[in-house]
A and B are shown apart, each in its own frame.
Chain A
Amino acid sequence: MKRFNYAEPKNLVELVALLHQYGASASILAGGTDLINHISHGKRSPKIVVSLRGVAELSNTVIEKSEGIEIGVLATLTTVAEHPLVRQRYTALAEAAVKVGSKQIRNRGTVVGNVCNASPAADTVTALLLFDPVLSVLAETGRRTVALSDFLLGPGQTSLAADELVESIFLPTPIEGTASTYRKLSRREGVDLATVGVATSVEWSGNIRIALGAVGPKAFRAVAAELQLKGNPRDMDNIESAIRLAQVAAEPISDLRASNEYRREMVGALLRQALQQALARCKGGECK
């Protein structure tokens, strides 16, 4: 049994003060579906666990704003997956959130927790990358914002300082008519981590975005492949060229889940499926 203190600050002032006081020896608890495992496996041994659940100012919903949506730090995966606007405009995110773990995990775990845990295979991270997400970060010294791609540094690593927390994630409204999708390959249907995750969005104009998960130290946008497809996303040969670029950008490892060779190939297979689906949705007017 690991011992640690536990605090439930009531407001932001108390919260940031605690984080300031304990710094790296504090761990923030959102849903706890990652943190508790890390503690019991000895990956983390905080002196104090600081829960966000009682902090009055923190939101557990998706807030619709004029220029986008804001995902509250305590919004669960279920909340995000079921939110009508998320499903409509940020379809890939809803599809990724609903593929995380099991219902119990999704009812407890949060999108922000998924992001802060910074696993290369985190499903919502791959999907979020399509939507220019900006994180709002808070500390006793003040607020700052940071783009998700700059926030993620590597497996389990973020640019968060010891006394900082993520307060929310802002996603600007995608261009009218954007369709998106998330494809996940795993060893089984229920409760499994992605062997490979691919998210794709298509704009009316023909701009394509591609994000890849579980095939590198962090999820990333396959920019070269996106450029290849720009303006010509439906041409089969062009798609195959783009797929090759995405595969080159991937740096998968071999582990118990799959070999690197298979993972690289699956980037292609999943991307092909994802493009097909996103393009079909776009054509079908679903994304309007």
Chain B
Amino acid sequence: MSLEFVGKNIQRTDVVQKVTGATRYANDISLEGMLHGKLYRSEHAHARILSINTDLVRQAEGVAAVFTAKDFSASVPLFGPVTEDQPLLAEREVKFHGEPVAVVLANTAEAAQNALEGIHAEYEILPAICTVEAALAEGAPLLHAEATGLSCNRNIHSSYSYEWGNVEECRASCAHIIHNTYTFPMIHHSMIEPYCVIAYPQHGGVVIESPVQHPFILRRVIASALKLKLSQVRVIPTDIGGGFGAKGYSKYEPLAAYLALQTGKPVKLSLSMNESFFAARRLSARVAIESGFDAKGVLVFQDVVADYLIGAYADAAPRVVAKGAYLGGCGPYKVPNVRIKANAIYSNTVPATAARGFGMPQMVWAIESQLNEACRRVGIDALEIRLRNLPDKGEVFVPGDTPADGDWKQGLKKAAAMIDWGAATQKNIGRSISIGIKNPIPAAVSNAIVKLHADDSVTVAVGTTEMGQGARTVFTQIAAEAFLLPVDRITVIMGDTAAVPFDLCTAGSRSTVSMGNAVQQACNDVLRQLREMAQELELIKPDEEVKISGGLVTGCGGVISYPELLKKYLGFNQGEVVGKGIFKGTKDVSHVLGGLTDFWEVIFTAAEVKVEPETGKVTVSKLVNVSDLGKAINPIQAKSQEEGGSIMAMGHALMEQLIYDDKGLLKNGGSLDYRIPTAMDVPRSMQSAFIENQDGPGPYGAKGLGESGAISPAPAIADAVRDAVGVHIKDLPLTPEKIWRALHKR
């Protein structure tokens, strides 16, 4: 089948608006009579609130209202997508440095900001817990002892276990048993656009405009926290200036909605970039992993305990743990015996949430590093050990779940070839290779509505949000292909919960597959209706072969354009054809995650690094990524996702980590002290390729991608460093000082 739009590098449909600054972001919104809110935040990690003096501020010029927990009519509402444990404002106790304690509403942002200086809070400081060890220690203070009614055992919010085979019985048959503990730091998403939300009352409910990735989850969370009906909460997501999971779940929206309802006015909370560090981070993790191999380097078992440190409130973190752990025993490999236990552990740190890769970078760091250790013991290379352990296409590797859905050995070999695997390297230069894997959100639903208008232009209405990943363009291409209409005749409306049908979320690399299918189905629904109309008008015979494309219905009786057909059928200027589509991920109530994996998101990464032994400095000179993505609907966008993800991963591999001191104060919460890679840090040679076997469940055989680039680079880079200079580092990031110490301070 030859394709007109799909598989082509169609220019992003929103690119001109974005580069000219015309795109309206949340912060550009200003409404009549709007109040500006600024947050007064805790200076302590863990403390009892004794008093908050706001008297001065209430009289201050321009200030309309001040809220602390005491100003709420009842107790402060709690919110959260998994556990409702987070208060709109801290009540009685603060649980992390930077937690909002009070909010000032004023006529201008400036007046609100200035007023913050007049607030004075007294605290009784409590011991802070910022590490897995401290949280699990005997007699550690319990963060949520009474507050939430959770059965909180030693600060563990929840635990997740998966097991198959028999780990104990197979030990004896192993030639090599390797036990290591790997740690993964707390990472901030570092999206460029800070948090911003505008909320206003409407029709007895509330409207929220915010750069939120999952408008329908936000609607549910707000409705539940504020005791509203779903129909009373309307979420209009604005274009997102970078999300990466940080904007997935509710942050300041519930507070803004509450304030709008209380004051009867539009309320805007616009935060600074540095304040983002007080809102979200990736989970850190300590992964203790024992792996058994036979003499040939084939995996016999893996026994894993993964302690993920979540923040002071659950946010989406428990889900991250549940899903990360699911593949935490096997990764993409056939492992006959697996036992994994993962804990989501509370701490007095910024709430942890979804982040590109959703729990997998932490697990893949450990699993891949184990393979790299094993290949040295067995005496084979990093490529060979992976080839020996990968399943073939169609082979089951997670019992009870979808078999391997791609030719993974093909992808791995391609990445190896692209980095000249096996060619000799010079001194202090090393190479390695790794595989990243992830399953999308199981049993997730996407609906789409497609409207063909009287002039043969098309509106596609979806709940997916645009955060730079290019979903708007991909759906445009899918619709353009279905109708064979030029892309400029297609408009994609995204997100508004009052205008578009339900979609679970824009996450998990799912939208091209799930929403893409829904859009395609909705387009086909329109085409079906056109055909029925033509039949009803007796323009074509019921069993006649017709072509409905390019704006024309062509049968043997002749040709009629869509506008003509609509006019004939519905009347002049009267209406449109509305098509509906739905995609439901494979639901399976007996499955631990509630459904089967719709596709495996798999990536192969090869890295070449140069290490300067005198300083410990690592330069990634070459980075190769190969994604098994079925079909690239828009190759250049897919490539950007892959590259962007892997540059992000270079950050957590080499330089990024949030640093808390022993009092629980965040020491590097800001872009000056928290370092992420710049354009200058991007490898000189950065190559992307795809395996396109059209074997995915999405339109045209597509699978999803978007997260995978962020999953696999760290172990490849770390092992390349080991290949170059012999140091084996198990805790990220690989800072020059750490490498230098390993080299010189043995």
Determine if B735 and A187 form an interchain contact, defined as CB atoms under 8 angstroms apart: yes
B187 to chain A, nearest CB (A): 15
B740 touches A191 (CB 8 A): no
Contacts of B735 in A (CB 8 A): 187
Residues of B within 8 A of A190 (CB): 678-681
A188 in complex: contacting residue of B614, B615, B678, B741, CB < 8 Å: B678
- CB-contact partner of A262 in B114, B668, B740, under 8 A: B740
Q: How far is the CA of A259 from the CA of B113 in the complex (A)?
A: 36
| B residues in contact (CB < 8 Å) with A | 110, 113-114, 614-615, 617, 654-655, 659, 667-668, 673, 675-681, 735-737, 740-741, 744
Provide the residues of chain B in CB contact with A273, threshold 8 Å: 614
Contacts of B673 in A (CB 8 A): 256
A185-B675 in contact (CB<8A): no
A191 with B615, Cβ < 8 A, contacts A256-B667, A262-B737 known = no
Asked if B614 and A256 sit within 8 Å, CB to CB, the answer is no
A64 interfacial by beta-carbon distance below 8 Å:
no
**Cβ-defined contact, B617 with A185, below 8 A:** yes
Judge whether A189 is part of the interface by a CB distance below 8 angstroms: yes
Closest to B671 in A: A191
Query: Are B655 and A187 closer than 8 Å at their CB atoms?
Result: yes
CA distance A241 to B740 in the complex (A): 21
Name the A residues within 8 Å of B617 (CB-CB).
185
Contact A191 B678 (CB under 8 A): yes
Q: Please indicate the chain A residues that have their CB under 8 angstroms from the CB of B114 in the complex.
A: 1
Query: For the complex, what is the distance from the CA of A273 to the CA of B740, rounded to whole Å?
Result: 16
CB pair B675 A1 closer than 8 Å: no
A–B Cβ pairs within 8 angstroms, 19 of them? A1-B113, A185-B615, A187-B735, A188-B654, A188-B655, A188-B678, A188-B681, A189-B678, A189-B681, A190-B678, A190-B679, A190-B681, A191-B678, A256-B659, A256-B667, A256-B668, A256-B673, A266-B615, A269-B615
Determine the residue in chain B with the shortest Cβ distance to A40. B272
Interface residues of A (CB under 8 A from B): 1, 102, 185, 187-192, 256, 258-259, 262, 265-266, 269-270, 272-273
Q: How far is the CA of A191 from the CA of B671 in the complex (A)?
A: 11
State the Cβ distance, B745 to closest chain A Cβ, in Å. Answer: 9
Residue from A1, A102, A189, A258 in contact with B110 in the complex, judged by beta carbons closer than 8 Å: A1
Chain A positions within 8 Å of B615 at CB level = 185, 266, 269-270
Q: A262-B737, A269-B615 are in contact. Are A188 and B675 (CB under 8 A)?
A: yes
Considering only CB atoms, which chain A residue lies closest to B651 in the complex?
A188
CA gap between A276 and B740 in the complex, in Å? 21
Q: When chains A and B are docked, how far (Å) is the Cα of A270 from the Cα of B614?
A: 8
Q: Which residues of A contact B614 (CB under 8 A)?
A: 269, 272-273
Distance A191 CA – B740 CA, assembled complex (angstroms): 22
Complex Cα gap A189–B618 (Å): 11
Complex contacts, B659 vs chain A, CB 8 Å: 256
Question: Looking at B659, B679, B744, which has the most chain A CB atoms within 10 Å of its CB?
Answer: B679
- Shortest CB–CB separation between residue A119 and chain B, in angstroms? 13
B740 pairs with A265, CB closer than 8 A? yes
Residue of A nearest to B108 (CB): A1
The chain B residue with its CB closest to the CB of A183 is B615
In angstroms, how far is the closest chain B Cβ from the Cβ of A122? 15
How many whole Å from A186's CB to the nearest CB in chain B?
A: 9
| Given known A185-B617, A189-B680, A190-B681, contact A258–B675 (CB-CB < 8 A) | no
Nearest-neighbour CB distance to chain B for A185, whole angstroms, equals: 6
Query: Distance (Å) between the CB of A244 and the closest chain B CB?
Result: 15
Look across to chain A and name the residue whose beta carbon is closest to the beta carbon of B741. A262
In the complex, the chain A residue whose C-beta lies closest to that of B735 is: A187
Measured between beta carbons, the chain A residues less than 8 angstroms from B737 are 258-259, 262
Distance of B686 from chain A, by nearest CB (Å): 14
A199 to B634, CA, bound (A): 49
Q: Which residues of B lie under 8 Å from residue A1 when comparing CB positions?
A: 110, 113-114
Closest 8 A-B residue pairs measured CB to CB? A190-B678, A190-B680, A189-B680, A269-B614, A1-B110, A262-B737, A189-B681, A187-B675
CA distance A206 to B741 in the complex (A): 34
Chain B residues lying within 8 Å of A192, measured Cβ to Cβ, are 675
Residues on the A chain within 8 Å of B736, using CB: 185, 187
Q: How far apart sit A265 and B616, CA to CA, in the bound complex (Å)?
A: 11
Residues on A with C-beta less than 8 A from B741 are 262
In the assembled complex, how far is the CB of residue B406 from the closest CB belonging to chain A, in whole angstroms?
35
Name the distance in Å between B735's Cβ and chain A's nearest Cβ: 7
Say yes or no: A188 contacts B680, CB within 8 Å.
Answer: yes
Shortest Cβ distance from B741 into chain A, in angstroms? 8
Q: Which residue of A lies closest to B110 (CB)?
A: A1
Question: How far is the CB of A272 from the nearest CB of chain B, in Å?
Answer: 7
Nearest CB of chain B from residue A85's CB, rounded to whole Å: 27
Bound-state Cα–Cα, A189 to B679, Å: 9
Q: Of all chain A residues, which has the CB nearest B738?
A: A262
Contact residues in A for B110 (Cβ distance below 8 Å)? 1
Beta-carbon contact of A188 and B677 below 8 Å: yes
Tell me the smallest distance from the CB of A155 to a CB of chain B, in Å. 16
In the bound complex, residues from chain B placing their C-beta under 8 Å from that of A259 are 737
Instruction: Say how far B676's CB is from chain A's closest CB, in angstroms.
Output: 8
Closest B residue to A191 using CB positions: B678
Instruction: Find chain B residues with CB under 8 A from A272 CB.
Output: 614
In Å, the complex CA distance between A102 and B737 comes to: 24
Q: Which residues of B are found within 8 Å of A187, using beta-carbon distances?
A: 655, 675, 735-736
Write the nearest CB–CB distance from B501 to chain A, whole angstroms. Answer: 43
Of A102, A185, A272, chain B has the most CB atoms within 10 Å of the CB of A185
A266: chain B residues at CB < 8 Å are 615
A270 to B114, CA, bound (A): 46
Q: A1-B110, A256-B659 are in contact. List 20 more A-B contacts (CB 8 A).
A: A1-B113, A1-B114, A187-B735, A187-B736, A188-B655, A188-B675, A188-B676, A188-B677, A188-B678, A188-B680, A188-B681, A190-B681, A256-B667, A258-B737, A262-B741, A265-B740, A266-B615, A269-B615, A270-B615, A272-B614
Residues on B with beta carbons closer than 8 Å to the beta carbon of A188? 654-655, 675-678, 680-681
Contacts of A256 in B (CB 8 A): 659, 667-668, 673
- CB B612 to nearest CB in A, in angstroms, measures 8
For B681, list chain A residues within 8 Å (CB).
188-190
Chain A hits for B676, CB < 8 A: 188
Q: Which residues of B contact A262 (CB under 8 A)?
A: 737, 740-741
Residue of A nearest to B614 (CB): A269
Kindly state the separation between the CA atoms of A240 and B740 in the bound complex, as whole angstroms. 19
A269 CA / B615 CA spacing, docked (Å) = 7
Which A residues are in CB contact (< 8 Å) with B668? 256
A102 to B, closest residue via Cβ:
B678
Residue of A nearest to B659 (CB): A256
Instruction: Please measure, in the bound complex, the distance between the C-alpha atom of A185 and the C-alpha atom of B614, giving whole angstroms.
Output: 11
Among residues of A, the one whose C-beta sits closest to the C-beta of B274 is A41
Nearest Cβ in chain B — how far from A40, in angstroms? Answer: 10
A231 to B615, CA, bound (A): 28
CA distance A192 to B617 in the complex (A): 14
Distance in Å from the Cβ of B713 to the closest Cβ of chain A?
A: 16
Give Cα A256–Cα B669 distance, bound, in whole angstroms: 11
Would you give the shortest CB distance from B404 to chain A, in whole angstroms?
37
Measured between alpha carbons, how far is A273 from B613 in the docked complex, in Å?
Answer: 12
CA distance A256 to B667 in the complex (A): 8
Q: Which residues of chain B have C-beta atoms less than 8 A from A191's C-beta?
A: 678, 680
Chain B residue at minimum C-beta to C-beta distance from A269: B614
Docked pose: A165 CA to B244 CA in angstroms: 47
Closest-CB distance, B243 to chain A (whole angstroms): 23
Distance to closest chain A CB from B665 (angstroms): 12
B515 CB, min distance to chain A CBs, angstroms: 36
The residues of B that contact A270 with a CB separation of less than 8 Å are 615
Distance in angstroms between the alpha carbons of A199 and B386 in the assembled complex: 47
Q: How far apart are B680's CB and chain A's nearest CB, in angstroms?
A: 3
Q: Which residues of A contact B679 (CB under 8 A)?
A: 190
Contacts of A269 in B (CB 8 A): 614-615
Count chain B CB atoms within 10 A of each CB in A185, A187, A256, A269 and give the residue with the most.
A187
What chain B residues lie within 8 Å of A102 (beta carbons)? Answer: 678
Q: Closest CB of chain B to A136's CB: distance in Å?
A: 32
Contacts of B113 in A (CB 8 A): 1
- CA A245 to CA B736, docked complex, whole Å: 24
How far, in Å, is A108 (CB) from chain B's closest CB?
17
